[in-house]
Structure 1
Amino acid sequence: MGAGGRTSVPPSPKKPEFNPLKRVPCSKPPFTLCQIKKAIPPHCFKRFVLRSFSYLIYDLVLASLFYYVATNYFPSLPQPLPYVAWPIYWAMQGCIFTAFWALAHECGHQAFSDYQWLDDTIGFILHTFLLTPYFSLKYSHRRHHSNTGSLERDEVFVPKKKSALKWWAKHFNNPLGRFLEISIQLTLGWPLYLLFNITGPPYDWLACHYDPYGPIFSDRQRLQIYVSDAGMLFTFSCWPKG
């Protein structure tokens, strides 16, 4: 009891400020990549052609089945069911096409088989069908894996330093801003990266995945970049007209 019959209320404990930097590792881990690799059973590194093709055939069957059902049965559905059925089809078929893209990506890492010519053939066909320049991405993505996490040498998703952020960047540090950033990344991010190397490192001139003489590629890779470009043009020419 204090003067006047009032009780003194103890001050509430101050909440500790959250500092995300404390979660960032600042020392080397007690293991190396070589030790991690040695701990993985050797059979996990073996590539089996039949198993790889089984995944490809499985995805082809599902994609064909979805396409057959959509084109033969959706037009006869009573209204407004087609407006529900088609988005479901797009989502399901999109998952299968993403599997095709991932298989081609693994071909670029030569994880499909022990034969590089086979990996490049399968990867080129799948990526070209999905409007992705196979050899261009193969070489730029290889540089990305060789320099992941490096602010100076990484090839994609290079984080900006705080001093390099634009004035409006702080206004996107909220749920709505992050939603807009993710929406832009999922719709425009991929073509902008291929065309203008968005989120990539700075170069002396335009770094484009379709330019055989761009700074991303070496002299011995230029012929294959031409092959990727020819494949893209062929895919565009096969689109239905009118």
Structure 2
Amino acid sequence: MGAGGRSIPPSAKKENPVALGRSPYAKPPFTLSQIKKSIPPHCFQRSVLRSFSYVVYDLTIATFLYYVATNYIQLLPEPLHYLAWPIYGYIQGCVLTGVWVIAHECGHHAFSDHQWLDDTVGLILHSCLLVPYFSWKYSHRRHHSNTGSMERDEVFVPKKKEGLQWFAKYLNNPPGRVLTLLVTLTLGWPLYLLCNVSGREYDRFACHYDPHGPIYSDRERLQIYISDAGI
């Protein structure tokens, strides 16, 4: 019996199959090329001077923060001394993320009109941050080419239900999600580079530091060696 003594028809208890369908989809009234043409031409011009100004700006701030931390944190009282180092690490990490992004743009050939200059700057900056520049450049490029593909995307590939680990069901709750988020933010990046965690499946072990791994083609292997040497 329902509320007020009225019985609920059996058909009303069944889920509406239409409600479970995908959201309505309609082709947009514009194309990607039209969007690109609407952007002013100067936005596509790559200025070496402007690009290097970002490098100098970020490195100047990073150097200043390092100087302040190494010369003044030790002068603080002991409780504040231990608190100041993590705060410094967080702020410095934000600044160096900007340096990481500049090297990322080098990998997309967005730093200058010269590929050799982009690769040189990107290799130096990423190597200083312990990132294998060419290794990640190639895998990341394939990620952009195959975004959304369950079979060919290089990273952030969702696991199929049958591929979930036995402990996945214990993490499907708020505390478990917080734990997963913490692990992702601290260990996710190095584990992806080392073991291809969250990456696509290969027929053998995949590692960004392995020049002969399945991630790379024969013509890319020499540059993977260069990335390893840079680190």
Aligned residue number for residue 113 of structure 2: 114
Letter in 1 for 2:41: P
- The more displaced of 176-185 and 28-37 is 28-37
Q: Indicate the residue corresponding to 2:33 in structure 1.
A: 34
Unaligned runs of 5+ in 2: 7-11
> What is the CA RMSD across the aligned residues, in angstroms?
2.5
Which residue does 1:236 correspond to in 2? none
CA distance in 2, matches of 1:47, 1:151: 34
AA aligned to 1:212 is P
Percent of residue pairs identical: 68
Alignment correspondent of 1:133? 132
Who is 1:69 aligned against?
Answer: 68
Q: What amino acid does structure 2 have at the position aligned with 1:196? A: C
Map 1:173-212; keep pairs closer than 5 Å.
Answer: 173-212=172-211
Q: Specify the alignment match of 1:46 in structure 2.
A: 45
Deviation, 1:78, is 2.2
SS of residue paired to 1:72: helix
Which stretch shifts more, 140-149 or 174-183?
A: 174-183
Q: Provide the rounded CA distance (Å) in 2 between the counterparts of 1:81 and 1:135.
A: 41
Residue 171 (structure 1) shift? 3.1
Moved more, 32-41 or 195-204: 32-41
* CA displacement at 1:133 relative to structure 2: 0.3
Tell me what 1:144 maps to. Answer: 143
* Paired letter, 2:116: W
- Residue in 2 aligned with 1:104? 103
Distance 1:58 1:64 in 2: 10
Give the Å deviation of 1:198: 1.2
Instruction: Give the TM-score taking structure 2 as reference length.
Output: 0.86
Match of 2:54 in 1: 55
Amino acid at match of 1:63: A
Q: How does 1:82-93 map to 2 (within 5 A)?
A: 82-93=81-92
The number of aligned residues is 221
Q: Which runs of 5+ in 1 are unaligned?
A: 1-7, 233-242
Residue 139 of structure 2 aligns to which amino acid in structure 1?
A: S
Structure 2 residue 217 is the aligned partner of structure 1 residue 218: yes
Per-residue CA shift, 1:46-94, capped at 9, x if unaligned?
A: 1111111111111111111111111111111223221222222111111
Partner of 1:155: 154
